[in-house]
Amino acid sequence: MYNIKSAKAEEFISDSEIRDTMQYAHENRNNRELIKDILEKARSCKGLSHREAAVLLECDQPDLVEQMYDLAREIKKRFYGNRIVMFAPLYLSNYCVNGCVYCPYHAKNKSIRRKKLSQEEIRNEVIALQDMGHKRLALEAGEHPLQNPIEYILESIKTIYSIKHKNGAIRRVNVNIAATTVENYRKLKDAGIGTYILFQETYNKTNYEALHPSGPKKDYAYHTEAMDRAMQGGIDDVGIGVLFGLETYRYDFIGLLMHAEHLEATFGVGPHTISVPRLCMADDIDTADFKNCVPDDIFYRIVAIIRIAVPYTGMIISTRESAKSREKVLELGISQISGGSRTSVGGYVTEESEEENSAQFDLSDRRTLDEIVGWLLDLDHIPSFCTACYREGRTGDRFMSLLKNGQIANCCLPNALLTLKEYIKDYASPATREKAEAMIKRLLSDIPNEKARATAAKYLDAIENGERDFRF
Ligand code: SAM
C-alpha cells in the first residue's frame, strides 16, 4: 500500500502506485485540458506530483510538448539564472564486493585493474585537480568493507580538505559511496561533507534484485531507505538519481519523483540534487545487452519535466553525456556539470592506456576544464566554482527556503562571478580569461541589491590584487 511518509521502501515507493500512475498517464496522454491545467499549475513554480509529471512525460501533443520545454527553460532561469556549478569526480578505489551486472567494478570482473589510492596518491590527485581549478569534488568508491571501510573514506576526506597548493583548495567534498548505517552517515556529516549522493539505480524491486545478484547492495530495502538514514544521521543535503537504461524510463521517472516527495514529506527537505546518469559502455559492460536504454529525445524530456516538477532541486549531469546532449539539457534544467573528469582510479595524475583500464565508464565528453569553461561562456552560461551556501551553513531546509522564495539569487550571482574571477586569475587560458572578464563586467550590474553590487565590485578588485576566497 502506498504511504508517502512510511519508513518502509516498499510503501513510499509503492509498485502498485507506480503502475497505476503509468496507466493513468497513458490514458490521459491526449487529454489536452488536463495537460494544460498541469502546465498552468507548474507555472506557479510550486512543483508537480508524480502523477501530473507522468502525464507530461506521456503527452504526445507537439504544441504542448513545446510549452513544456519553454516552461522548463523559464523555471531554470528563475531559480538558477544562467549559472552552472562545476565539479569533478575523484575515484578513490574500485575494489568492490557487489555483483551489479551493469558496473565494471563488479567483484567477478577479472579484466579491470583494481586500485585503491593511498593518502599520498590522493594528495597528488587533489593537487592535479586544484591545478585545473576545481574547488568541489564528488568522491566515488566501490563497496568493500575491508579495502574501503568508512575509516578510509573519512581519512581521505580529511586529507583532501587539508591540501592547500598555491591558491588551490577543495572547499566542498560530496560523497557517493554505498548505502551505510546512521552512525556512519553521522561520521560523514562530522567530517564536513557537502551532499551525500546515492543513485537508486532502479526503483523496480524485482529488476533491482536481478541487477544486483550478490553483495550487500542486493538488499533493495536497505538501499532505498539509505537517504532516510542519512537524514537521521544529520546529513540534510542528499542527492538522488537513477541509472537510466536499467529499467523502463517511465517506471524509474515516477519512482524518482516519489522518492523526492517522500523525503520532502518526511523530513521537510527534498533532495538537494537529482542526477540523471544514463548507462554507458564500460570495461566488460555492453549497453547493447540492456533493452531499456533511453534515446536522446526522451532523455531531454525527462530533464525538462524533472525541472518543472521539482523546481528547487539542483540537477547534475556528468561526462557520461556528450557535448551535444549536455548543451541541450543545460538550458532545460541542469545546474551542475563535471568537467575535465577522469573515472579511473588515479587518473588525474596518470593517463591510463586501454589495457590497464580501471575506469568506471567510458567518457563521452573528454574536454579539459578550461575548454568546458570556455564553451559555457560561449553559450552564455556562467561557470561557477561557488561552494558558499554549504560553508555559510545554508544547507537543508535553510537552503531550500531561501531558494524557494527566490532570495538565493542575491548571493548566487555575486558568488558565481567571484569564483569565476578566481578561476581565470589562477588557471584559465588567455582566450577563456578574455571571455570571462567580459561576462563579469557585463553581469556585475545585474546584481539586484545595490549594496551587494558594491561589495562584489570591491571583492573583484581584491581578487585582481591577489586575495582569494570571498563569499556572500
Ligand atoms: N559504489 C557506490 C554505490 O554502490 O552506490 C557508488 C559509486 S559508483 C562509483 C557511482 C555510480 O555509477 C553508480 O551508482 C551507478 O549508477 C553508476 N554506474 C555504474 N556503472 C555504470 C555504467 N556502466 N555506466 C554509467 N554509470 C554507471
How does DSSP assign 263-309, residue by residue?
HHHHHS---SEEE--B---BTTB-GGG-TTPPPHHHHHHHHHHHHHH
Q: Tens of pLDDT along 359-412?
A: 878 888 899 999 999 999 999 999 999 999 989 999 998 888 877 777 776 789
Dist. CA 413–CA 80, nearest whole Å: 9
User: How far does CA 283 lie from the centroid of its chain?
Assistant: 23
Q: What Rg, from alpha-carbon coordinates, does the chain have?
A: 21
Give the start-to-end residue ranges of the domains of the chain.
Answer: 77-384, 408-464
Atom from ligand 1 closest to the CA of residue 94: 9
- pLDDT value of position 403: 78
What DSSP character marks residue 216? G
Indicate if ligand 1 lies below 6 Å from the C-beta of 280. yes
Q: Answer yes or no: are the C-beta atoms of 63 and 207 closer than 8 Å.
A: no
**Model's pTM, two decimal places?**
0.97
Dist. CA 307–CA 45, nearest whole Å: 10
How many CB atoms are closer than 10 A to CB 150? 17
Atom from ligand 1 closest to the CA of residue 285: 23
Q: What are phi and psi of 255, to 5 degrees?
A: -60, -45
Q: Read off the pLDDT band of 353 (50, 70, 90).
A: low
Q: Answer yes or no: are the C-beta atoms of 99 and 213 closer than 8 Å.
A: yes
- C-alpha atoms less than 13 angstroms from C-alpha of 268 in its C-beta half-sphere: 7
Residue 102 alpha carbon to ligand 1 centre in Å: 8
Q: Answer yes or no: are the C-beta atoms of 270 and 400 closer than 8 Å.
A: yes
Q: Answer yes or no: are the C-beta atoms of 39 and 74 closer than 8 Å.
A: no
Atom from ligand 1 closest to the CA of residue 91: 9
Provide, for the chain, the percentages of residues in helix, strand and coil under a 3-state DSSP scheme, each rounded to the nearest 5. Answer: 50, 10, 40
Buried b (16+ CB within 10 A) or exposed e, 421-459: bbbbbebbeeebbebbeebbeebbeebeeeeebebbeeb
Residue 286 alpha carbon to ligand 1 centre in Å: 15
Torsion sign, CA atoms 112, 117, 118, 120: positive
- pLDDT value of position 448: 86
How many CB atoms are closer than 10 A to CB 62? 8
Q: Answer yes or no: are the C-beta atoms of 169 and 131 closer than 8 Å.
A: no
Residue 318 alpha carbon to ligand 1 centre in Å: 12
Atom from ligand 1 closest to the CA of residue 143: 1
Indicate if ligand 1 lies below 6 Å from the C-beta of 217. yes
User: How far does CA 27 lie from the centroid of its chain?
Assistant: 32
Q: Tens of pLDDT along 3-18?
A: 999 999 999 999 999 9
Q: What is the CATH number of domain 77-384?
A: 3.20.20.70
Comparing CA positions, the residue from 179, 207, 201 lying closest to residue 15 is 207
Q: Tens of pLDDT along 249-302?
A: 999 999 999 999 999 999 999 999 999 999 999 999 999 999 999 999 999 999
Task: Provide the grid cell at 217.
Answer: 547492495
Atom from ligand 1 closest to the CA of residue 199: 14
- pLDDT value of position 418: 98
Indicate if ligand 1 lies below 6 Å from the C-beta of 270. no
Dist. CA 170–CA 185, nearest whole Å: 21
- pLDDT value of position 355: 58
Torsion sign, CA atoms 98, 100, 104, 107: positive
Indicate if ligand 1 lies below 6 Å from the C-beta of 201. yes
Q: Read off the pLDDT band of 356 (50, 70, 90).
A: low
Dist. CA 114–CA 37, nearest whole Å: 53
Comparing CA positions, the residue from 206, 86, 67 lying closest to residue 136 is 86
Q: Going by CA atoms, what residue is nearest to atom 13 of ligand 1? A: 199
Dist. CA 82–CA 79, nearest whole Å: 9
Which of the listed residues 224, 243, 275, 317 should we mutate to test ligand 1's pocket, taking the one with most ligand atoms within 8 A of CB? 243
Dist. CA 106–CA 94, nearest whole Å: 9
Say which amino acid occupies 172: R
Comparing CA positions, the residue from 1, 76, 13, 85 lying closest to residue 260 is 13
- pLDDT for residue 26 is more than 90: yes
Comparing CA positions, the residue from 387, 381, 392, 394 lying closest to residue 436 is 381
Residue 420 alpha carbon to ligand 1 centre in Å: 30
User: How far does CA 417 lie from the centroid of its chain?
Assistant: 21
Q: What residues have CB less than 8 Å from 405, skipping those under 6 apart?
A: none
Comparing CA positions, the residue from 61, 64, 19, 12 lying closest to residue 40 is 64
Q: Tens of pLDDT along 216-252?
A: 999 999 999 999 999 999 999 999 999 999 999 999 9
- pLDDT value of position 171: 97
Q: Please indicate whether residue 311 or residue 402 has the higher confidence score (pLDDT).
A: 311
Which of the listed residues 98, 286, 360, 365 should we mutate to test ligand 1's pocket, taking the one with most ligand atoms within 8 A of CB? 360
How many CB atoms are closer than 10 A to CB 465? 8
